[in-house]
Chain A
Amino acid sequence: DAKTTQPPSMDCAEGRAANLPCNHSTISGNEYVYWYRQIHSQGPQYIIHGLKNNETNEMASLIITEDRKSSTLILPHATLRDTAVYYCIVRPPPLNTGTASKLTFGTGTRLQVTL
């Protein structure tokens, strides 16, 4: 599986944009980039995913570089409730048609949003 590298921690002021980087230099052409977050004492929560193009949903935006070797998750207006560990995951294609492939979590980035 392609390995991802994330900074262990980041701070962000409430109301400002939080930009969380992820390096995945060994990513293959058919591997997706997924982002999850885990708020303390809860299970991980899906945020967004993408292949090549930038993606946006109600939670965040995902910017993937043209060479696909890195990406950035953007929380446009961070709030205290966004304090969590954010995981960047490269998802390989399934082994067999019609099946799924597992997500391999690293240690993520601990984002602390402050007043």
Chain B
Amino acid sequence: DTGVSQDPRHKITKRGQNVTFRCDPISEHNRLYWYRQTLGQGPEFLTYFQNEAQLEKSRLLSDRFSAERPKGSFSTLEIQRTEQGDSAMYLCASSSPLAPGELFFGEGSRLTVL
């Protein structure tokens, strides 16, 4: 068990470009979450998948953001037409149905938009 892995760990991009982050959850976990964290704040919920179904989305997830989990395994989070306000740490977490409140987080993907 290698835990939750995220890629890339760091991404620097220019405003207006598209970026995509990938998350590989713990293999037996069917639930996957995306959070965003800015400096000095706690993580903010973005969206949640149960298997391949996206069951909940935050209003923070504007139409420039899209998340997928096509086969119920890995997930991608894409941000289109990035803005400087999108600069943040994007955290992925997964959990087992046996312990749904016990989230295992990855180390995050840090996005800097210039």
Which residues from chain A sit less than 8 Å from chain B, CB to CB? 32, 34, 36, 41-46, 49, 85, 87, 91, 94-95, 98-108
Which of B12-20, B62-70, B75-83, B105-113 participates in binding chain A?
A: B105-113
Of the residues A98, A100, A105, contact of B43 by C-beta under 8 Å:
A105
B28 within 8 A of A: no
Q: Looking at chain A's contact residues, is the secondary structure mostly helix, strand, loop, or mixed? A: loop
A43 touches B108 (CB 8 A): yes
Q: A102 near B48 (CB under 8 angstroms)?
A: yes
- Select one of A41, A46, A101, A105 contacting B42, CB under 8 A: A105
Cβ contact within 8 Å between B55 and A108: no
What are 20 of the A-B contact pairs (CB < 8 Å)? A42-B105, A42-B107, A43-B4, A43-B91, A43-B93, A43-B106, A46-B102, A46-B104, A49-B102, A94-B100, A95-B56, A98-B97, A100-B31, A100-B48, A100-B50, A100-B100, A102-B33, A102-B48, A103-B45, A105-B42
Cross-chain contact B107 with A103 (CB below 8 angstroms): no
* A36→B100 CA distance, assembly (Å): 14
Q: Assess the B45–A102 pair: CB atoms within 8 A.
A: yes
| CB closest chain-A residue, reference B50 | A99
Q: When A102-B45, A102-B48, A105-B43 are in contact, do A43 and B101 touch as well, CB less than 8 Å?
A: no
Bound-state CA distance A24–B7 (Å) is: 36
Chain A residues with CB under 8 Å of B87's CB are: none
Expressed in whole angstroms, the Cα–Cα distance for A98 and B42 within the complex equals: 27
- Given contacts A34-B101, A43-B106, A46-B102, is CB(A108)–CB(B42) below 8 Å? yes
